């Protein structure tokens, strides 16, 4: 009871509540005026649909202008993180597939442990970077597209090289930095793909579960 009373004492909570009530009443008026029908729009009024699209557009514009920053100062794009997360409706099929895979793994007794590396992130505005270089007195930290990984499942190209050339970007002129950037972009590293194959025992168990 106490949290409910505390919410009612906040002006921001009342504004959100009244905004939702007003939107609901507007939609009921559109239904009463026959603006929501098979001839017009079958599910919602045109006004509600346009407001929903505008809200989605403003949300994406906000995400594009922001970045995620960890405690070490490393930054990643917030919009790319959003597009690859479960918050994106386009990833719903993939998330359901992962859940089904987990059900089958439990049935056959081949549960896979998940190791997650936790990090504290905060949302910060984007900053300008000259020619794609970030001027810092530290080496760039290693990046990974996923956090759930172990050393035994890494490919050769995912390991950090033993030695690499260091460039003093501050002493270079703008023309020299541009030439260096073009040379780096022109080099195409050899890609190696890690091939994983399930054991015959797991294949047989999966066939039994699927064939039920």
Provide the residue-wise pLDDT of the chain in tens; the chain has 212 residues.
678 888 888 888 899 999 999 999 999 998 888 888 888 888 888 888 999 999 989 988 998 888 888 877 888 888 888 888 777 777 777 777 777 877 777 777 776 666 566 667 777 787 655 444 444 444 444 444 444 444 444 444 444 445 556 667 777 888 887 888 788 777 766 655 545 556 677 777 767 766 66
Q: Which two tokens stand for residue 14?
A: 């009342």
- Nearest Cα to 67, choosing from 56, 54, 59, 76? 76
Give the C-alpha separation, 206 to 104, whole Å.
Answer: 7
- Record the pTM: 0.45
Do 115 and 150 form a contact (C-beta atoms < 8 A)?
yes
* pLDDT reported for residue 200: 73
Domain boundaries, the chain: 1-61, 65-132+164-212
Strand ranges (E), 9-109: 66-69, 75-77
DSSP state of 205: H
* pLDDT reported for residue 40: 81
């Amino acid at each position: 009871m106490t949290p409910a009373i505390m919410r009612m004492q906040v002006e921001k909570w009342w504004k959100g509540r009244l905004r939702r009530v007003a939107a609901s009443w507007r939609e009921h008026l559109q239904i009463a005026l026959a603006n929501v029908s098979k001839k017009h729009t079958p599910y919602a009024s045109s006004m509600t649909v346009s407001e929903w699209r505008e809200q989605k557009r403003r949300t994406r514009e906000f995400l594009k202008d922001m970045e995620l920053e960890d405690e070490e100062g490393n930054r990643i794009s917030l919009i790319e993180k959003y597009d690859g997360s479960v918050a994106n409706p386009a990833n719903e099929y993939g998330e359901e597939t992962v859940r089904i895979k987990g059900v089958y793994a439990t049935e056959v007794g081949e549960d896979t442990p998940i190791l997650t590396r936790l990090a504290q992130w905060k949302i910060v505005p984007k900053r300008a970077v000259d020619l794609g270089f970030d001027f810092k007195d530290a080496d760039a930290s290693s990046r990974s597209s996923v956090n759930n990984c172990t050393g035994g499942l890494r490919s050769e190209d995912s390991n950090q090289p033993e030695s690499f050339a260091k460039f003093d970007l501050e002493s270079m002129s703008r023309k020299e930095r541009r030439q260096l950037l073009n040379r780096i972009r022109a080099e195409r590293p050899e890609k190696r793909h890690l091939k994983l194959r399930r054991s015959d025992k797991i294949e047989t168990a999966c066939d039994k579960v699927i064939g039920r």
